[in-house]
Structure 1
Amino acid sequence: MHEEENDGGTPAKRGSGPVARAAGSDASRTSASRTSASGTSAAGTRASGTRSSGASRIAGRRGIVARVLSGVAILAAGGGLVAGTALAPQPSAARPLDAAEAAVPAGSVQDVCPAPARLLEGTPVGTDPQFSPESATARSTVSAAVVSSAGGSLPGSALSALKGSELRRIAKAPGSATAPAGSSGVLAGVVEGQAVDDVSVLSADALANRQPAAGALMAYTATDGDLQGSAAAACQTPSNDLWLGGANTAVGRSSVLNLTNASTTPATVNLELYGKAGQVKASGSRGLLVGPKSTRSIILAGLAPGEERLSVHVRSTGGPVSAFIQQSVLRGLTSGGVDFIAPGTSAAPSQVMTGIDIQDAGDVKSLTGESGFDDAGPSLQITVPGPSDAVVEVKLFGRAGQQALPGGGVVTAKAGTVTEVPLSGAPAGQYTVSATSDVSIVAAARVSRGLKASQSLDFAWSPATAQLGSQHVVPLPQGGERLLVFGALDGRATISYTPITADGKIRTAATADIAAGTTTTLKAADRIGDSAVVGYLVSASGGAAYGTVLLEREGRNDVSTVAIAPGAEGQEKVPVTLGY
């Protein structure tokens, strides 16, 4: 690879129970002793007979009064003792306890790859599509890599069709493959360009209670027909909450949402649609059933027709789902490209996209000025799902640092709408885009390729991606120009990238130092020795860094972007709270 130069319970209260009972007992004993003494004096008086009966009654009343007053005084004293004890500051009988953490068993990987791009047949009614045969030159392949443990044991893994039939067995069971003598002790199981004709699934078992390091990528290419161009997407871990931005249902644009349920539990999906003028209310967007091991395709124009910019929020109950939008453009009889729109990060105040390839500013302006080509240039789309408008600061970082944007890069995006910000005007090259807001937003950036209206053009959407960490498996398709694009924002970052070759070897790592506020592009090697390079292991350290695979073809306007998927995590622990 060649690097472009870049510079429990409430605490008990003492005195409220036992002390009060003890005070009452003392009062009773005192009152009893005084009563006994008074009784003895009265008996002596009656025996001597020197007092009249009236005097006796008076004395008796005085004795009663004295006993009552004595009892009141004692009770008052006891009450004061109780009150004083209760009101005085007391040490707490409880102490805070940290929530215990329980280890979560590592789960297996089950990444879903999209089906090949298919052309809609005729003019469908409603939202259920009918597809026509693919073009004569269309080719769809899946490339995958599964990395072993440090001891060289590969997890049980395979690439399979959605219904379960195996397309390629990678490793039978842990320990079935070991690293060759003299190697670093780590190897990879590889799938190199497996042809597919439908949805496929990469599965890999947990190994030593750790999530396996694995990744797959589906790539589509065609040089003829209405869907000529290229499209690629990282195979996706299913989720119950997904955001997709960049759809278009205007005339000449086709958007098909493909929902796949690879689990054995039925999924019920609800869609939230956001357009240029606000949220779109569609009667057929809720309660969509996706059965186990099945895919449901939905034509978005049947739900939100005529939307030049459309974002889709997919939420499921029951089984998790994967979601891709097959997006294509046809301008008259000329193809405008094809893409698989993949989900980006969830709504947040900050979103970052990289791998934004911008062409010459003057030529882009001339092209987008022609009728029907306003969506043929690079741009950023911002969706505001909340009830408040967003003030968004957009920054563009290239090889030489930050580049100015028209209007200073600060825009107001209306609540519930999709706002577009042009990115043209910067010098040609690869860029990283950041969008920072005062409220949560969703963002995606469009990459365009081709500068002449008479030619077949292509485009791709780069979704917002998460910050890079360690051990990201980045598979690559064979053929064409394969670029790794990395952007650093606020601090200098170091990227380590290690080639994976078709023979299963993990080659020597290389590093790239990225200055803060810049973007670096690295060209993947085609071969190392006699073996093809089929992917990389990528890690980042230092400042926050982001990465995307940019795919192009020499002599053609084909372009695709694939955000680098999250890396394998160690054993996860979660806090456990006992109670109800």
Structure 2
Amino acid sequence: MHKDGNDGVPPAHKEDVASAAGPTAGPEGSDAPAGTADHTADHAGGSAPAAGRLKGFKARGTAVRGTVAGLTWAVVIVAAAGSLVAAASMGPQSSGSRTLEAPLAAVPAGSNVGICPGPARLLEGTPVGTDPQFSPESATAKTLVNGAVLSTNAGVLPGSRLAELNGNPLAEIAKDPGSPTAATAPPALLAGVVSERSVDSVSVLSADAAGNQQATAGGVMSYTATDGDLQGLAAAGCQAPSNDLWLVGANTSLGRTAVLNLSNASSTPATVSLDLYGAEGRIQAPGSRGLLVAPGTTRSIVLAGLAPGQPKLSIHARSAGGPVAAVIQQSVLRGLTPGGVDFIVPGAAPATRQVMSGLDIQDPASTKALIAKQGFVDAAAALQIAVPGPADAVVEIKLYSRDGQKALPGGGVVTAKGGSVTEVSLAGVPAGQYTVAASSDVSFAAAARVTRGLKSDGATDFAWSPSSARLGSQHVVAVPRGGERYLVFGAPEGRAKITYTPITADGKVRTAAAADIAGGTTAVIKVPAEVADSAVLGYVVSASGDAAYGTVLLEQDGRADIGAVAVAPGAAGQEQVAVKLGY
């Protein structure tokens, strides 16, 4: 078994963490079991034996305590329902008996868990038939996590923390407040924050439920490098684990490297199966089924080992057992010239309508000249559409700028072949910031690529904006510090009102601002470096009116760097399940 960037993590050190009392002792990690496919590898954050790691999970139980409690109550409710049915079937039935629909049963809220990707790593020495090996990405690379947790309606910060995937603590955001007490007056909204925390591996931002409501929290990981093959900017939100994930935008053709990282923060093993879709249809790949991801570990899969030479590749990852987070580290090298790096994250599940915001398109004439050069065909903005079903999808694509809808070259209607991935070029669109909406009568998944840099002899960069969910109320949108940062909101149809309230590094939630967005337009709001002499590290975003969508757009002044982070769905609150009586 090799040793890579997830092994040998240096001891955690104290950082600028508001509302924190310092890290507590955490469990030791363990090496993951050997992979089952010859092009995969497991990565764990330590070297203790498995028994020590499982013991560590008990000490780390705060990250999953609420979820386990919710599942336990669900089992009790269903068992009670079964007992009622059995008792009713054994007793005499009157002629006037009737079936009663059981009401919804509340399930205790679980913890809010977000898995943040680790640093980009340079893949090396990986011929087919060996495990992936990674080397340091560059001398200037920095990987930082920013995050925030909001207080409850009673003004209490829920217990929250940032830890390594194996449970070793990195920073305590807020201690467990104990039993909540009733407030005499509406308290001011507060935030516990973790600011600019340097990380060297996958990390987990978790917040406990409080008052039987899921905590409202959010985080973002940002990677920057100004030298090396992986120079550029890449960012990804801290992702809620799931058992069903769709990722669009991978590329395994010459000079392109795609590594799928599957992370399991739960205490239950996950068995992941991958469905792969390319430009020519479904790809049957030996070794894409039954991939075991042990608790507290990350498993890396070199996608070229499953689907080599694929310029358009989409992944459907399904996990049996524990939920996982999935992210594809995608990088480009054109000869000796770096072509950028990005983290491709899951987007919305296949549906008949997909919306992506935060597209910053460059000058079309200069872009046309660039992509005409050999090796630069993917250096322009584009939309990729993955149709999982057998039926073709006739997709209508619309672009919305600050001043309304813009025509798409070619008419905006394309036919995407069933069971494959179709790319639609956006190279002829006028320069500016956009929201793109695509609709069809057949379900599909989608993501949009944006690029930066117009010189063939210089470094370029790219980013993928995944399709996202409609904005609701009280999203915590963390933003990296430094560089040019923008909130991009799109309202494809109908008017929407967006309120955005800054969260600063001192843990204060500042005065809210609002944007009234006309239907069929995109609004772009520049994020200031500071508010009231404190650095801005996030926003509380809420939307009302018609459907609106949001993305954080990241750039670096004077450099060809770009990143995009879609606004994640808000906290679920208290969940309910329907209990049906029957047999």
Fold shared per TM-score above 0.5: yes
Deviation at 1:269, TM superposition (A): 0.6
Once the two structures are superposed, residues 234-289 of structure 1 have per-residue CA deviations (whole angstroms, 9 ceiling, x without a partner) of 01111000000000000000000000111111111100000010010001100111
Write the distance in 2 (CA, Å) between the matches of 1:233 and 1:175. 32
Q: Secondary structure at the match of 2:287?
A: helix
Instruction: State the AA in 2 paired with 1:518.
Output: T
Match of 1:250 in 2: 253
Report the Cα distance in structure 2 between the residues aligned to 1:469 and 1:499, rounded to whole angstroms. Answer: 17
Q: Is the 8 A contact 2:180 2:211 kept in 1?
A: no
Aligned position for 2:271: 268
Paired with 2:479 and 2:412, the residues of 1 have a C-alpha distance of: 34
Match of residue 154, structure 1, among 148, 157, 163 = 157
Per the TM alignment, residue 563 of structure 1 is displaced from its structure 2 partner at its CA by 0.5
Deviates more, 1:327-336 or 1:561-570: 561-570
Indicate the residue corresponding to 1:324 in structure 2.
327
Kept in 1: contact 2:125–2:132 (CA 8 A): no
Instruction: State the 1:96 CA deviation.
Output: 5.5
2:241 is aligned, of 227, 238, 243, to 238
Deviation string 1:493-538 (CA, Å, 9 cap, x unpaired) is 0000000011111100000000000001001111112211110000
What's the CA shift for 1:343? 0.2
CA distance in 2, matches of 1:382, 1:138: 32
Q: What is the CA deviation profile of residues 63-85 of structure 1, one whole-angstrom value per residue up to 9, with x for unaligned ones?
A: xxxxxxxxxxxxxxxxxxxxxxx
Matched position secondary structure for 1:283: coil
Provide the rounded CA distance (Å) in 2 between the counterparts of 1:303 and 1:353: 28
Cα distance change on mapping 1:102 and 1:156 into 2, 3 Å: same
Matched, 1:483 2:486: yes
1:498 alignment partner, one of 496, 501, 508: 501
- d(CA) in 2 for partners of 1:183, 1:502: 23
Residue 467 of structure 1 corresponds to which residue in structure 2?
470
Counterpart for residue 287 of structure 1: 290
Instruction: Report deviation, 1:150.
Output: 2.4
Q: Is the 8 A contact 1:127 1:302 kept in 2?
A: no
1:101 corresponds to which letter in structure 2?
A: L
Q: Does the 8 Å contact 1:392/1:410 carry over to 2?
A: yes
Query: Which residue of 1 is the match for residue 217 of structure 2?
Result: 214
Aligned to 2:26: none
SS at match of 1:301: helix
* Contact kept? 2:233, 2:562, Cα under 8 Å: yes
| Cα gap change, 1:176 to 1:530, in 2 (>3 Å) | farther
The 3-state SS of whatever aligns with 2:411 is helix
In structure 2, the CA distance between the partners of 1:368 and 1:183, relative to structure 1 (3 Å rule), is farther
Shift of 1:98: 3.2
Q: Percent identity?
A: 67
1:349 aligned to 2:352?
yes
SS at match of 2:213: coil
Aligned: 1:140 with 2:143:
yes
- 1:276/1:122 CA distance change after superposition, 3 Å: same
Structure 1: distance between partners of 2:411 and 2:382: 15
CA contact (8 A) 2:101 2:581 kept: no
Secondary structure of the residue aligned to 1:407 is coil
The AA in structure 2 aligned to 1:137 is T
Q: Distance in 1 between matches of 2:572 and 2:290?
A: 33
Distance in 2, matches of 1:156 and 1:460, equals 34
Please give the alpha-carbon distance, in whole angstroms, between the structure 2 residues aligned to 1:177 and 1:143.
27
Q: Is the 8 A contact 1:502 1:531 kept in 2?
A: yes
What is the one-letter code of the residue matched to 2:131?
D
Q: Equivalents in 2 of 1:249, 1:262: separation in Å?
A: 28
SS in 2 for 1:408: coil
Match for 2:340 among 329, 334, 337? Answer: 337
Cα distance in structure 2, aligned partners of 1:96 and 1:514? 48
Residues 1:334 and 1:176: Cα distance change in structure 2 (over 3 Å): farther
Q: Answer whether contact 2:278 2:312 (CA < 8 A) is retained.
A: yes
- Provide the residue aligned with 1:99 in structure 2: 102
Query: Given residue 124 of structure 1, which amino acid in structure 2 is its aligned partner?
Result: P
> In the alignment, what sits opposite 1:570?
573
CA shift digits 1:435-489 (9 cap, x unpaired): 1011110000001011111110000000000000000000111100110000001
Q: 5 Å matches for 1:369-384?
A: 369-384=372-387
Instruction: Identify the residue that residue 189 of structure 2 maps to in structure 1.
Output: 186
368 and 162 in structure 1: CA distance in 2 versus 1, 3 angstrom threshold: same
For residues 150 and 526 of structure 1, the distance between their equivalents in structure 2, rounded to whole angstroms, comes to: 29
- How far the C-alpha of 1:99 sits from its partner, in A, is 3.4
Indicate whether 1:410 and 2:413 are aligned: yes
Deviation at 1:123, TM superposition (A): 3.8
Aligned equivalents of 2:117, 2:129: Cα separation in 1: 22
Q: Distance in 2 between matches of 1:524 and 1:219?
A: 16
8 Å contact kept, 1:190–1:504: yes
Distance in 1 separating the partners of 2:482 and 2:566: 19
Partner of 2:544: 541
Q: Equivalent residue for 1:59?
A: none
Q: Contact 1:152 / 1:177 at 8 angstroms: preserved in 2?
A: no
| TM-score between both structures, scaled by the size of structure 1 | 0.82
Q: How many residue pairs end up in the alignment?
A: 491
Partner of 2:306: 303
How far residue 407 of structure 1 moved from its aligned partner, in angstroms, is 1.8
Letter in 2 for 1:374: V
Q: 1:122: how far off?
A: 2.9
Q: Please say if residues 154 and 186 of structure 2, whose CA atoms lie closer than 8 Å, have aligned partners that are also in contact.
A: no
CA contact (8 A) 1:246 1:309 kept: yes
Structure 1 residue 176 displacement after superposition: 10
Distance 2:213 2:442 in 1: 36
Segment drifting more, 143-152 vs 240-249: 143-152
Give distance in 2, aligned partners of 1:542 and 1:330: 44
**Alignment partners' CA distance in 2, 1:176 and 1:438:** 50
1:424 deviates by 2.0
- Give the Cα separation in 2 of the matches to 1:176 and 1:479: 39
| C-alpha contact 1:379 1:422 (8 A) present in aligned 2 | yes
Structure 2 residue runs without a partner (length 5+): 1-83, 86-94
Q: Which residue of 1 aligns with 2:22?
A: none
Inter-partner Cα distance in structure 2 for 1:158 and 1:272: 34
User: Is the CA contact 2:112–2:571 (under 8 Å) kept in the aligned structure 1?
Assistant: no
Structure number, greater radius of gyration: 1
Residue 71 of structure 2: aligned partner: none
Contact 1:154-1:176 within 8 A present in 2 as well? no
Q: Which amino acid aligns with 1:423?
A: L
CA distance in 1, matches of 2:391, 2:97: 44
CA apart distance, 1:579:
2.2
State the Cα deviation string for residues 281-327 of structure 1 (Å, max 9, x = none). 00110011111111100000000000000000000101111000000
Shift of 1:195: 0.1
Query: What CA distance in whole angstroms lies between the structure 1 residues aligned with 2:100 and 2:364?
Result: 61
Provide Cα deviations, 1:37-90, integer angstroms capped at 9, x if missing partner.
xxxxxxxxxxxxxxxxxxxxxxxxxxxxxxxxxxxxxxxxxxxxxxxxxxxxxx
Is the 8 Å Cα contact of residues 153 and 175 (structure 1) preserved in structure 2? no
Whole-Å separation in 2 of the counterparts to 1:395 and 1:203: 37
Query: For the residues of structure 1 that align with 2:511 and 2:269, how far apart are their CA atoms?
Result: 45
Superposed displacement of residue 127, structure 1: 6.8
Return the alpha-carbon distance in structure 1 between the equivalents of residues 546 and 304 of structure 2: 42
Alignment of 1:47-86 (within 5 A): none
Asked whether the equivalents of residues 354 and 432 of structure 1 are also in contact (C-alpha less than 8 Å), the reply is yes
Tell me which of 104, 112, 115 is aligned to 1:112: 115
Match of 2:4 in 1: none
Question: What is the CA distance between 1:408 and its match in structure 2?
Answer: 1.0
Instruction: Kindly state the Cα deviation for residue 163 of structure 1 after the two structures are TM-superposed.
Output: 1.0
